Chain A
Amino acid sequence: MRKNKTEKSYFDRVHGWGRISSVTALCVLIMFPVSICLYLGVWPSLSGVMSGLLKLVPLYWTLAVIEVLIYTPMLGAGGTYLSFVTGNITNLKLPCAIGAMENAKVKANSEEGEVISTIAIATSSIVTTIIIALGVLVFKPFLPAFTNSELLMPAFKQVQPALFGALAAGYFSKHWKISVFPIVVMVGILFVAPTLDAGTLLIPGIIASVLGAFTMWKLKWVK
């Protein structure tokens, strides 16, 4: 009983901090263009801004709703609030959290999972922020030689296969029976719609994976 009370109060506190930090982040973010306008003493044309937003808002705001609904249950409470402020969720924060929970051998929807996921995402956010800041401020003169390097270019182009391959090794080897079906389905989808990006593909992928796993469990092929 006592543990349940502590657990509830911790999650409630995390959501309290998270709500405050989300609203604060939103204000800080909006103050960025405001400060630029005040500093430069110019304001853009309203029609130009509205026209730009009309191109982005239908797609990006819809994606924002989908991302919040999909990623929030996977990231944990603290991880969710941090990830949606610092961004790069699919390509960085989520794989980092999944990998950390796998290493620590904790379940995603447990309190231990919540703690490990938050630590992993916070660390990832700090490291990313510091690397970008150092890159911009300290190594500015040398950056083009590094990031435009013909030699290193293939490594930067193949970050995602490397990252998700490493992650897949741990996950697929432990759950290989339920891994084959969704991969086959998604490769099949790509044969029909080859330009589909991973962010869109993962929606039918997750549905296929859950339905496949459920069917195998019903047939007693997996426990």
Chain B
Amino acid sequence: MDFKESTGLYLIAGGVIAFVLAQSIFFLVKAWKQGEKLGIDKKKLRNTITSSAVFTIPSALSVLATVIVLAPSLGLVIPWVRLSVIGNLLYETKAAGDAMASLGQEGGITSTITDPAIFAGVAWVMTLGICFSLVILPFVAKPLHKKVLNLGKKEENKEETTEKKEKKSGGIAGFIDLLTPAVFIGLIGAFVARAIAGKGKPETFGDGAGVLSLITLVVAVGASLILEFVAKKFKIAWLEPFVMPIGMIIAMVIAVVAYNVLPPELAVLEWRG
């Protein structure tokens, strides 16, 4: 039997995964109770859970796909743990390749590890390489949040005191309302811009901007706007929290249809090469 598939390794991974689940459930319960204390409608809290779950499924499946991509080389256990804890679609593939090359595994992630010492070494490199955020977070998170909360309080009091504050701070208080949307737009815009004009890795289809990424982007925007309009116009309250997840799934279905219907040379066209 392949040592990478032994029950003991699955049990070790299961322990790590159980911790992650327990932590998530703990924070969910605490936040829910605090939401009730604050008087947030239970329906709103339930809708947040349902729409977040639906929103997550397609992305979680693509994370699972990365686990499968790494599995022939590393087995399932390391990719499973690495992509369930801190892991990231973008980082883990590179980390695995660098770790294997440094430990003397010829062929990188296209080869299969047969030496347990190399397997253990890859686990060390991938773990230590990615864990630094957990080292600094306990020191940095609280002071940063205090600043954000102070900003939020200023925002709440803005309507009554804007005039007073503007005199005092040269008018900057009035901008606070726009700051958070501007930050989020910058973040979302980076992915939108990449789907329009980014260049992917030459050996990977679908990584760069092209016909398919643009169709998917436009359909996702269009479908979400139409669904939002329909939900508001016909007062379909249950639809509102699902506008984004459904828009996303429609776009992915259209991507599949476009890929299979368009002429092959057009379907795979990526304009940045």
Contacts and interface: CB of A to CB of B under 8 A. Distances in A.
A40 interface: yes
Given A118-B27, A127-B60, A186 B193 contact: yes
Contacts of A33: 120, 123-124, 127
Interface in B147-161: 147-149, 151-152, 155-156
A80 B218 contact: no
B135 interface: yes
A45 B220 contact: no
Interface in A14-62: 14-15, 17-19, 21-26, 28-33, 35-37, 39-45, 48-49, 51-57, 60-61
By secondary structure, the A interface counts as: helix
A129 B251 contact: no
Contacts of A28: 15-16, 19, 85
B118 interface: yes
By secondary structure, the B interface counts as: helix
A36 B120 contact: yes
Contacts of A74: 183-184, 187
Contacts of B83: 87-88, 132
Interface residues of B, number: 163
B269 interface: no
A76 to B, nearest CB: 8
Contacts, number: 571
Nearest to A176: B185
Contacts of A187: 193, 196-197
A162 B220 contact: yes
Contact of B132 (A37, A64, A85): A64
Interface in A181-208: 182-183, 186-187, 189-191, 194-199, 201-202, 205-208
Contacts of A123: 28, 48-49, 52-53, 56
Given A86-B20, A109-B152, A154-B212, A73 B147 contact: yes
Contact size class for A? 35 or more
A196 B138 CA distance: 30
A202 B144 CA distance: 20
Contact of A198 (B12, B40, B194, B212): B194
A85 B85 contact: yes
Contacts of A163: 55, 58-59, 191, 220, 248
Contacts of A206: 182-183, 186-187
9 contacts: A13-B30, A18-B141, A22-B134, A99-B52, A112-B38, A114-B31, A118-B27, A154-B255, A169-B247
